[in-house]
C-alpha cells in the first residue's frame, strides 16, 4: 500500500510531531489545528524556560482540552507534575469543542492565569465567542491553583479582532508572543501594547514555516528524554512491543478507557508505570488509535482478547524514536 504523503513526518521536536498535513495549514488561509499550536507552545517552553527563573509556562492544547472536560477536583493530577504553581503566568489555548467522544471545535482563544494578580485574563480575537467557556475554565483553574481564594477574578481583555473565519489560532500565537515579551520585561500583563498584533498575524505563518525548516536543519529536539529511555528498558523487561517505532516520552496524563474507539474519558491516572505494572505476566503491544482533535494516541493492551483494558496516552507526550 502506497504511503499517504500528507501523513509524512516533517519534524519531531521534543514532545511535538508535525506531519505534512499539519504544516500545510500554514501555507494557505486555513484554520490552525491543535498540533501546530501545541508545537509552537512547546517551542516557547523550550526556548524561554532554559534558566531557573520561571516566568511563563505554556500548556498544550491537548492538556487544556483535557482539563476543560475534567472535573476541577482532578486538575492537580495533571498540573502538579508540571510544577505550574512555580510560574508567574500560565498560558492556555482554549478551543470551543465540548465533545468528549469526538474531534470538533471551530474557534481558539487565549486564557492566561497570572498568579501575582490572582487573575485570569481572556484574549479572544472574535470577542464574545468563547466567553462562557473561558469564564468557567478560569474559575476552575483559579480554584485549583489558588485553593478557592475569594479574591481571584476573571478579566476579558479588549484585543485586536480578526476579520476572517480562519485566523483565530494565529491570533492566539501572536498574542502569546507579545504578552510574553511584555511579561518578561515588566513582570505583569497590565500595560501590554497590542497595536502590532495584526501586522504580526500577517507574517506569522511564514515565520512558522521558516522556524520549522530551521529546526529540521539543526536537528534540535529530536533526542529522547530520560523518561523515554527508562521506559524503553521497562518495555523490554516486560516484553512489551512498541508498534510503528513510537516511544512514550514522558510521565504525563493517561486516560483509561473500556473501549479504545468509543470512550476516552473514564478514569484519569498520572503514573504510567503503575498502569503497566497491572500486567503481571508481561507482554502486550503499543498501537495507534485516533483521538480527539485528530491527534494520534498510543494505547497499551495488556489483555489477550485486546478489548478489556486500554491505556490511552496524551499525544502531547509522544515523539518518534
Active site members: 107, 124, 168
Task: Name residues whose C-beta falls within 8 Å of residue 6's C-beta, 6 or more positions apart in sequence.
Answer: 19, 20, 21, 24
Q: CA 180 to CA 172: how far, in whole Å?
A: 12
Cell 492538556 maps to which residue? 63
CA-to-CA dists, residue 77 to 74, 252, 253, 270, 278, angstroms: 6, 9, 8, 6, 20
Give the angle 73-113-130 at the CA atoms, nearest 5°.
85
Provide Rg for the chain, Cα atoms: 20
d(C-alpha 231, C-alpha 237), whole Å:
10
Residues 311 and 256 sit within 8 Å (Cβ to Cβ) = yes
Amino acid at each position: 500500500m502506497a504511503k499517504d504523503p500528507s501523513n509524512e513526518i516533517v519534524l519531531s521536536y521534543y514532545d511535538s510531531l508535525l506531519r505534512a498535513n499539519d504544516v500545510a495549514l500554514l501555507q494557505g488561509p486555513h484554520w490552525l489545528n491543535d498540533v501546530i499550536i501545541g508545537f509552537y507552545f512547546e517551542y516557547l517552553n523550550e526556548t524561554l524556560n532554559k534558566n531557573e527563573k520561571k516566568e511563563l509556562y505554556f500548556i498544550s492544547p491537548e492538556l487544556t482540552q483535557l482539563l476543560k472536560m475534567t472535573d476541577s477536583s482532578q486538575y492537580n493530577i495533571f498540573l502538579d507534575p508540571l510544577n505550574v504553581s512555580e510560574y508567574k503566568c500560565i498560558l492556555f489555548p482554549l478551543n470551543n469543542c465540548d465533545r468528549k467522544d469526538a474531534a470538533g471545535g471551530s474557534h481558539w482563544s487565549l486564557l492566561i492565569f497570572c498568579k501575582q494578580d490572582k487573575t485570569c485574563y481572556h484574549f479572544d480575537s472574535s470577542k464574545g465567542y468563547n466567553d462562557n467557556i473561558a469564564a468557567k475554565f478560569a474559575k476552575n483553574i483559579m480554584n485549583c491553583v489558588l485553593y478557592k481564594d475569594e479574591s481571584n477574578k476573571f478579566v476579558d481583555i479588549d484585543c485586536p479582532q480578526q476579520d476572517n473565519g480562519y485566523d483565530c489560532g494565529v491570533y492566539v500565537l501572536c498574542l502569546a508572543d507579545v504578552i510574553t515579551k511584555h511579561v518578561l520585561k515588566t513582570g505583569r500583563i497590565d500595560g501590554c501594547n497590542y497595536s502590532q498584533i495584526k501586522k504580526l498575524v500577517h507574517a506569522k505563518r511564514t515565520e512558522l514555516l521558516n522556524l520549522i525548516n530551521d529546526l529540521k536543519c539543526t536537528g534540535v529536539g529530536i533526542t529522547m528524554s530520560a523518561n523515554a529511555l527508562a521506559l524503553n528498558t521497562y518495555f523490554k523487561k516486560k516484553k512489551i512491543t512498541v508498534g510503528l517505532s513510537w516511544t512514550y516520552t514522558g510521565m504525563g496524563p493517561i486516560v483509561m478507557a473500556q473501549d479504545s474507539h468509543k470512550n476516552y474519558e473514564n478514569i484519569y491516572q498520572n503514573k504510567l508505570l503503575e498502569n503497566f505494572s497491572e500486567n503481571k505476566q508481561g507482554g502486550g503491544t503499543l498501537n495507534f488509535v485516533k483521538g480527539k482533535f485528530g491527534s494520534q494516541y498510543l494505547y497499551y493492551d495488556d489483555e489477550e482478547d485486546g478489548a478489556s483494558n486500554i491505556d490511552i496516552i496524551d499525544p502531547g507526550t509522544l515523539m518518534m524514536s
